[in-house]
Amino acid sequence: MTGTSEKVAVVTGGSRGIGRAVALLLAERGYAVCLSYVSDAGAAEAVVSAIEAKGGRAVAVRSDVGVETDVLALFEAADRLGPVTALVNNAGVVDVACRVADVTAARLQRMMTTNVVGSFLCAREAVRRMSTKHGGKGGAIVNLSSVAARLGGPGQYVDYAASKGAIDTFTVGLAREVAAEGIRVNAVSPGIIDTEIHASGGQPDRVARMGPDQPMGRAGTAEEVAAPIVWLLSDEAAYTTAANIDIAGGR
């Protein structure tokens, strides 16, 4: 497909889980989508194919958001679709259960580089394109936080929780920094959501185990997280910035 689109969204970690659901819904709402992935090219191309099958425009780019050159390449690919107007900072990692007394520097480096540094780098590139101060026409950013930021993750992943606490602070600070430049910045904080991230953290049964204990009696779905994200990017949320929406079934 050729040409450019008026609405272009960058979705990091867009090949699976919440990122995939966001990419598909944004395409339904008329966005051209540039999604990043790290290793599963097949899953990423499947998302692109699903979007194109419905007449949409999408591209998948192998990009580790913790690597600056990869982030630059991601946004250069997005530029070819048209002016970037939306960013969803979804890419993130978790790890196996670990107490702080046993945590390694390598684990901390990986966690903070992907979850925090990656979000900063992607937001930097988005702001450079969207900000009216830089000649842009405005836009919106949604960061993926987690209810772990307020629960702390004791005995499991305090490091992951801390990385999401950083995202909460980052969201408020950036939102206020660019509010007068046509850019809105918000966050969502999912709870127990039925995605593959639990398996990557060594707990493939976590949803089945914890879902029934949630106030609503079940885990959430990726689509139930995607809908509020896409709303926050839309004109319906035109006066919403520095907000953080819990999507956790009351947890």
Task: Please report, in tens digits, the pLDDT of each residue of the chain (251 residues total).
Answer: 456 768 999 999 999 999 999 999 999 999 999 999 999 999 999 999 999 999 999 999 999 999 999 999 999 999 999 999 999 999 999 999 999 999 999 999 999 999 999 999 999 999 999 999 999 999 999 999 999 999 999 999 999 999 999 999 999 999 999 999 999 999 999 999 987 664 555 667 777 777 788 888 998 999 999 999 999 999 999 999 999 999 999 98
160 is catalytic: yes
| CA proximity to 79, closest of 49, 63, 59 | 59
Report the pLDDT value the prediction gives residue 199, as an integer from 0 to 100. 55
Report DSSP letters for 116-131, one per residue: IIHHHHHHHHHHHHH-
Give the per-residue SS3 of 149-187: HHHCCCCCEHHHHHHHHHHHHHHHHHHHHHHHHCEEEEE
Report the pLDDT value the prediction gives residue 1, as an integer from 0 to 100. 46
**For residue 113, what is the enclosing H or E element?**
none
Q: Which residues contact 96 (CB under 8 A, 6 or more apart)?
A: 201, 202
Query: Rounded distance, CA 176 to CA 45, Å?
Result: 36
- 3-class state of residue 199 by DSSP: helix
* Identity of residue 6: E
Helix axes 105-112, 158-178, angle to 10 degrees: 30
Report the pLDDT value the prediction gives residue 172, as an integer from 0 to 100. 98
Domain ranges of the chain: 8-247
Report the pLDDT value the prediction gives residue 157, as an integer from 0 to 100. 94
Query: Rounded distance, CA 150 to CA 107, Å?
Result: 21
- The catalytic position among 31, 37, 160, 239 is 160
Query: Rounded distance, CA 120 to CA 2, Å?
Result: 30
Q: What is the pTM of this model?
A: 0.93
Evaluate whether the domain defined by 8-247 bears CATH number 1.20.1280.50: no
Report the pLDDT value the prediction gives residue 2, as an integer from 0 to 100. 54
Report the pLDDT value the prediction gives residue 203, as an integer from 0 to 100. 62
Q: Are strands 84-89 and 58-62 parallel, antiparallel or unpaired?
A: unpaired
Q: How many CB atoms lie within 10 A of CB 124?
A: 14
Q: Which two tokens stand for residue 47?
A: 């998302």
